[in-house]
A and B are shown apart, each in its own frame.
Chain A
Amino acid sequence: MFNHWDKWLMRRFQKVKLRYRKGIPSSLRARAWQYHSNSHHLLNKNPGKFEELERHPGDPKWLDVIEKDLHQQFPFHEMQQDLYRILKAYTVYRPEEGYCQAQAPVAAVLLMHMPAEQAFWCLVQICDKYLPGYYSAGLEAIQLDGEIFFALLRRVCPMAYRHLKKFKIDPILYMTEWFMCIFSRTLPWSSVLRVWDMFFCEGGCDDTSIALYCAHKGGADFFRVKIVFRVGLVLLRHTLGSVDKLRSCQGMYETMEKLRSLPPHCMQEEVLLPEVSALAVTDALIERESNTQLRKWRENRGELQYRPSRRLHGARQIQEEKMRLNPSLSGSRLSLSSLSSLRRPSPPNSPALALQPPESVVVSEGLHPVLPSPTANKAPLGPPKEAAKKGKEKQKEQDKKREREEREREKKREKEEREERERERKREKEREKQKEKEEKRLQKEKEKAEAKQKKERKVSFRRKEASSPATDSTHKSGTGSADDTYF
């Protein structure tokens, strides 16, 4: 797979994603992470850069903090030295960012898989592309993500949401460490690795519409850290998702205590990972909440201080950016965008495309096809055979593609609009079906249950409704027909 990485990534991304969700064999993990984050490319492009950064004396202020911090965090001697090298190099590489304590555990996980230089470039990619702004002064990015996370929780697990709201427990009180360390200080090691596999592969939002939206509104680009959100939501649902669980933590202290020591069984990889994959949080939902929270933020706290250059979550986007920067490498850009037209709806404000600088147009177009959709989790795993075939055909036209790109894009937009409508219809149907099913189920339950348990049932019902479409699709995707169903 790695030998033809570019091709795999661009044409068989579903397959790649499927494999990642299953987990990467540990022998391949280091390579996989580097390829996915595209840090191997940075490494090759900057030979000797790391040594150069290391030779730099560095800012004593940061060196002092790092040294103290490592001593505190990582008593293992060998690791400490390499960590110091990496973190110091980063403060030289990005003097305006400096050092943030949460970077150490992240770098440590990387170092357990690869030599210092490779780990350094991987860290750079995480800080620059996956979680921009997370480690910057002011921590605005993490606070905003906290708000979005909380809003998503309201949809995924209203009970936990109400509980946290009732006791005025701000998201930053519990999710800061989860998100900033990408759960490396929270989950058991085997789960950390699996989460990181997914994080590298599809780390964030595969949707540019948020970025487009923001750019259109004159704001920064926002992508959401999708996998991190998902994991956090599943954990909260397990911890605070039922009346029983809430009964034992009636109060702010008790709840905080509970959030600090999460139930061990839900952090096991066999429990956590399938639920993360199946969680019914659509990209459309994330997008909507992101926009809402961003608007609220601006109303309440003014303009954001940090301006991430661009969030690229996941391998595919990063690959596409690479191709944009090195057109010679990009064999299949056209096929990609035409692919995308088959699989992705256009962002709500596609006219904004025209307003973008040309380069970002290419990127954003490329970004669409990545994962299948607002209904993403519904059909994520089907191998895109048909699509791949089409891709091949299109590839033959490669030579003409430059001239045709503009035309193609127009068509695509039209197509996408059509599709969006169709999908909307399908989604509605789907929802109706779900409702019917659920109603039947509920009736059965009603017969059994007492009236006083009514409230309890309502919640579990809601939860079922939320997760069932995803489960359905997992079955479907096995037959490969999922794409047809949803697109």
Chain B
Amino acid sequence: MRAAIIVFPGINRERDMAIALAQSFGRAPRMVWHRDSDLDGLDLVVIPGGFSYGDYLRCGAMAAQSPVMQAVRAHAARGGYVLGVCNGFQILTEAGMLPGALLRNAGLRFVSRDCHLRVERADTAFTAHYQRGAVFRAPTAHGDGNYFADAATLDRLEGEGLVALRYAPPTGNPNGSVRDIAGILSPNLRVLGLMPHPEDLVDPLLGGADGRPLFDSLAATLAA
């Protein structure tokens, strides 16, 4: 199983993601600079968090036009796995690989605190090591995480079971996301975008390992 992390200028959680992947996969992921476009032979492509191009345009809009995104699309079309976290989720929506958009947080402030996430389905490559309905904790750190899509799209996502994670009590919805949606899947269940950062909670010393099952799930799926 081979994983790579795409690095755009301004991405800043690539190291966190590399640590989490290495811990579960037993080997370090490849770091791919945004001007490279060779993603051949990879099982998993991760777009991590940060502020690609400063997010001075709409969050993720510049990165979505980057040449490497053609390769990411092709990778997904081949049935490859893609994980987009935070800015990575924003980039996936801007690139049209996941529906909807991430708007300014409802409170109009950056939100950096732990949130709770309910696992809506546990039969995916990303969530197999959680129980369905389980609630786990993950840090958030975003100013634009307010998920929005029109009602028809939302109904379709929910009808097809493509909502992977929802914000849950006790902390609840931190950003105003519609229907408490925190993470969504592509129809083939191989592309996941989510706002919170499970990669920053994979070590009990740092406050918990709630995020680790997500990476263990991927490692187990890809090893199989």
B partners with A: no
List chain B positions with a Cβ less than 8 A from chain A: none
